Structure 1
C-alpha cells in the first residue's frame, strides 16, 4: 500500500469508516447487519411493496412527522473511473462511490459489485481479474486500496515529488501557481510547513521575491500566510 495516511487521498480513504460510524450513531441501520437472504434489504422489491401499502390514519401522521428530517433526493451515481493514474479522478470515484452505496443503503456484501458498474478500461480489468470471484467478501476500504495499487505506478509518489520540484510560477498568476503546488503537497503528505514555504518562495518569479524581501519577508523565517 503506497498511499500516505496523511495525504489527501489517504484521509479520503480513512473517512470511509468514519462515515459509516457516523451513520450508525445517528440511528441509521446498516443494511449489512441483516442476513443477505432474509429479504429485508433496501433492494428487496417485496419490502418496497409492503412499504407502499396504506397505513391507518394515525400511523400516517406519525410517519410524516418522523420523515421531515430525512433526505429526499436520490443518490447520485459516481462518475465512471477508467483506471488512469489520475489522483483527482481516483479520489472523485472514491468519494462519490462511497456516498452512492451508503446513501443508497446497499448491502455491505454488494457494495463493491454495485461500484463495478462504474469501472471501465484498466479499472474494470482489475475488477474482473482480482475481485469478481469474491466481491461479496471485499470491504470498500480494501477494494479502493487494491484498485489504487493496480492502476497507479509503484513509483507514483516519486514522480509526484519530481513534478513538484519542476513546478514554478513562470508567467502564471501567483494563485494558479499556489493552487498547483498545494495540490501536489496534498498528494504527497508528510511535508512540514518550512519545506512548503521554501518551495512556494523558490518557485515565485524573481521580481516577486524581490518585493517580498523589501517587505521584510524571508523564506527561512516567514510563514506561508505571511508570504
Structure 2
C-alpha cells in the first residue's frame, strides 16, 4: 500500500539555511535589520557617553575651583601657558605650530563664550555698559588675531609677530579682569548669585568643551 504524505508536511530546509517562519514569510532580513539598528544605537550611545566624559574632563579644572572668578583665572593661566609653548616652537616645525594653534583657539573660544554669555551680562547690569563693552571689543580683537594666525603660513615671520601681539593684548585684558573688574563684581553679588553664575558659566563651558 502506497504511503501518502500529509498536506501540511514541509520539506526540511537545506543545510545551513534557517527554517522558514510558519507564516511562510522570510524573517531573516528583519532580524538582520533589527540587529543593525540596535548596534548603531549602542555605538551612538557609547560615543555620546565618551564625548560627555571628554567635555567633563576639559571643564573640570574650572568647575573644581567652585567659584567663577577663580575658575576663569585658572583658564587665563592655562591659555598663556599654551601661547608660551607655541612661541617656543620654531618655524621649522609648522605642523607642531598648527596643532598648538588649534588647541589655543579652542581654549579661547570656550573661555570667551563663558564670559560673554554669563559674566559680561552681569557686569553690564552692575556697572553699566562701559566695562562690558570694552571687554567685548577686546574679545573681537583676539578673534581677529586668531583668524590671521590660522591663515598665515605657519613658517611666515608674521606668525610669530602676531602671536606676540596676541599674548600682550590678552595679558593686559586678563589683568584688568582679574585685578579689578571681576573681584568687584563678585563682591557686589550675594553668595546665592555667585553660586548661580558659577553653575551657569560651567554649563556654558560644557557646550564647547
TM-score (norm 1): 0.24
| Greater RCO structure (CA 8 Å; 6+ sep) | 2
Larger Rg: 2
Structure having the larger proportion of residues in helix: 2
Q: TM-score, normalised by structure 2?
A: 0.25
